[in-house]
Amino acid sequence: MYVYQNGVIKKKEDAALSIDDRGYTFGEGIYEVVRVYGGRVFTLADHWQRLKRSADEMEILLPDYFTRKHCMETISQLVEKNNQPESWVYLQVTRGVQFRSHGFLDNMTPMITMYLIPAGSWEKERQGVKVSLAEDIRWHRCDVKSTMLMANTLMKTRAAREGYFEVIFEREGFITEGSASNVFFVKEGELITPPLSNYILPGITRSYIMQLAGRLSLKCIERPVKVAELPTMDEIFVTATGIEAIPVSAVGQLDYRSPGPVYTQLMDEFNQDIEKLKWL
Ligand code: PMP
């Protein structure tokens, strides 16, 4: 398996990291997961923009050579060298190496790694998955795509142990997002999703779904959603790069129609876009 590390593509066995990397000691890293369909990179411009924003917000300096073009070329090379046209690209940037001390130095050289993960298929899940509800115990900068994900991984694992596909977070009576996804609701034919804030990640799939809704003349409203409103929703689905959109058949004890008609309509459109992308 070939991976990328700070400008160089190498065998995975030859890639190494320092135990003093702040990504290891303090979890100081940012990341992106980008989808490759049939060898074609999907929505890279959006992921690139979000990565740059995460870097700026966390004061991680992306080196000059690490441009969007370089990133695109690297992904293409990884896809070719690994012969893996259906992939998730995992891209991570940590702050870099420094003897352990809370305060970080100026002008640190980040550690950039990229590798491919074979894309999963979610055939069974597209019929509907059960999700749980839990208190959002994360920090106040969920808008940054940080690798510091202990609250997410802990809650996701606990939910999985109980047989749930995902856990949806609530903060002070309002739904924020899933542990690794954004959430959409359908009520009386209209799409609803919580508005962007420091409590949710601006999902690339979230914005793609909103664009598709526009194209299909489906009304999509960004507004706070109360937990108390859950019983009034007709459909619920979760979105992320890795899963595209997956319909929710139950939130705890509350059942929903899945896959619902609005979900199905959006996924048909999404799949058509992917087919077009492959034949570009
Ligand atoms: N929220 C969280 C907390 C996530 O981890 C993810 C997926 N990484 C998303 C939302 C969805 O983001 P995207 O559609 O960009 O993959």
Residue 280 has pLDDT above 80, yes or no: no
Catalytic residue check, 124: no
Q: How confident is the model at residue 220, as a pLDDT?
A: 98
Q: How confident is the model at residue 136, as a pLDDT?
A: 98
Q: Whose CA is nearest to atom 9 of ligand 1?
A: 181
Q: Which among 145, 219, 226, 278 is annotated as catalytic?
A: 145
Sole residue written with tokens 């939130």? 251
Distance CA 2, CA 78 (A): 7
Testing ligand 1's pocket by substitution, the residue of 171, 241, 270 carrying the most ligand atoms inside 8 A of its CB is: 241
Complex prediction ipTM: 0.99
Residue 279's pLDDT band (cuts 50, 70, 90): confident
Give tens-digit pLDDT for 105-148: 999 999 999 999 999 999 999 999 999 999 999 999 999 999 99
Distance CA 182, CA 109 (A): 32
Q: Whose CA is nearest to atom 7 of ligand 1?
A: 180
CB 205 within 8 A of CB 182: yes
Testing ligand 1's pocket by substitution, the residue of 90, 138, 181, 244 carrying the most ligand atoms inside 8 A of its CB is: 181
Residue 84 has pLDDT above 90, yes or no: yes
